[in-house]
Structure 1
Amino acid sequence: MTKIESNSSTRGNEIEEEFLSFVLGDENYALDIMSVKEIRGYEAVTKIANAPAFVKGVLNLRGDIVPIVDLRIKFDIGQATYDEFTIVIMLSVSDRIVGVVVDAVSDVIKLSAQAILPPPEFGVSFNSRFLRGLATVENKMIILVNIAALIGSDELGLMDLNTTAGQE
């Protein structure tokens, strides 16, 4: 279990934000490090009836019932496998704790606002509202996930899961 604590920094007049980069399939992603509560290994979850396939279930994290979302399934990126190398990033978003399953955590990266390009419009096949933008780091394209939009989306239904789980 690794705890993450960090913030934005400035270099000259340029404000830099820190992101936690991670891997899903063959692609590199990142999310705002300020939403990261901790990084853990994958552990067995309690399945929730009628939950979408990408919601693997819930687990008890020190008294909080936490929904676990597999981003590989949510973003339709290859086959999801769970082993001792599978990582869960615990996030605190809008006063909710949510775990997201990823293949690997890479690094903490710093990006200036100028380094972040706006997300492209993909049309109806992919909803770019879950993307914050794109950046290139060490010749690799990094997809910046708007985790607040994803966790807060109606289709994820996490508010319903939290309400239901708390009543059992």
Structure 2
Amino acid sequence: MTVETNTASRQLITFQLGDQYLGVDIMAIREIRAWSPATPLPNVPEYVRGVVNLRGVVLPVLDLRYRLGWGMTEPSARHVIIVVRIGDQLQGIIVDAVNDIVSVSADDMQPLPDMGDTAAAQFLDGLATIDERLILILALERLVERVTLADAA
């Protein structure tokens, strides 16, 4: 008797924006840090809250809630910045709380239902159900427009 195992699983870090649970591939995560105020920049998209200094690296900080079309985040001490690699650049994304590391098999992944042309849908890779909870899988590479910090200054 042979048992087939599905080795195509992804490890995700799950986090919250309000009551919504999202996940991002663990391999994209560089660190998770406490909220620190970002220095605003002129001429950047509205979802870019500014920059923070991460050990000498200037890191753009994105308001994920705003980028998904769910309203503006009012950051407080309870918020967290998840530092992710998007393409060849590190970016910070503001989230309410980081939850767990989970493994999602290919069988647990589902495509997005047709939701029309909503802002959030274009930034999502799919859905997964983990412990009776629906997790939206974030497509990091679609979050940012190609704006360099030099363009902003």
Per mean C-alpha deviation after superposition, the further-off stretch among 68-77 and 121-130 is 121-130
1:107 equivalent to 2:94? Answer no
Under a length normalisation based on structure 1, what TM-score does the superposition of the two structures give?
0.81
- Structure ranking higher on relative contact order (CA contacts 8 Å, 6+ apart): 2
Q: Shift in Å at residue 90 of structure 1?
A: 0.2
Note the alpha carbon deviations across 1:121-167, whole angstroms, 9 max, x for none. 2222336331110011111110001112223xx3xxxx3233336xx
Q: Report the Cα distance in structure 2 between the residues aligned to 1:129 and 1:78, rounded to whole angstroms.
A: 16
Is the aligned partner of 1:70 residue 2:57? no
Query: Which runs of structure 2 are paired with 1:10-159 in the superposition (5 Å)?
Result: 12-126=5-119, 128-151=121-144, 154=145, 159=146
Amino acid at match of 1:164: D
Letter in 1 for 2:151: T
In structure 2, give the amino acid aligned to 1:141. L
> What 5-or-longer segments of structure 2 have no aligned partner?
none
User: 1:42-94: CA deviations, max 9, x gaps?
Assistant: 11211011322221001121222111001111113245222211000000121
- With normalisation by structure 2, the TM-score equals 0.88
Q: Give the counterpart letter for 1:19 in structure 2.
A: L
Work out whether residues 25 and 78 of structure 1, in 8 Å CA contact, stay in contact via their aligned partners in 2. Answer: no
Give aligned-pair identity as a percent.
Answer: 32
Q: Equivalents in 2 of 1:58, 1:126: separation in Å?
A: 24
Change (3 A) 1:59 1:164: farther
Q: Write out the 4+ residue segments of structure 1 that deviate beyond 2 Å after TM superposition.
A: 11-15, 50-53, 76-79, 124-129, 159-165
**Equivalent residues, number:** 150
The structure carrying a bigger helix percent of its residues is: 1
1: CA distance, partners of 2:61 / 2:103: 27
The residue type equivalent to 1:163 in the other structure is A
- Counterpart code for 1:32: D
Give secondary structure in 2 for the equivalent of 1:114.
Answer: helix
Mapped contact 1:22–1:107 kept (Cα < 8 A): yes
Aligned-residue Cα RMSD (Å) equals 1.9
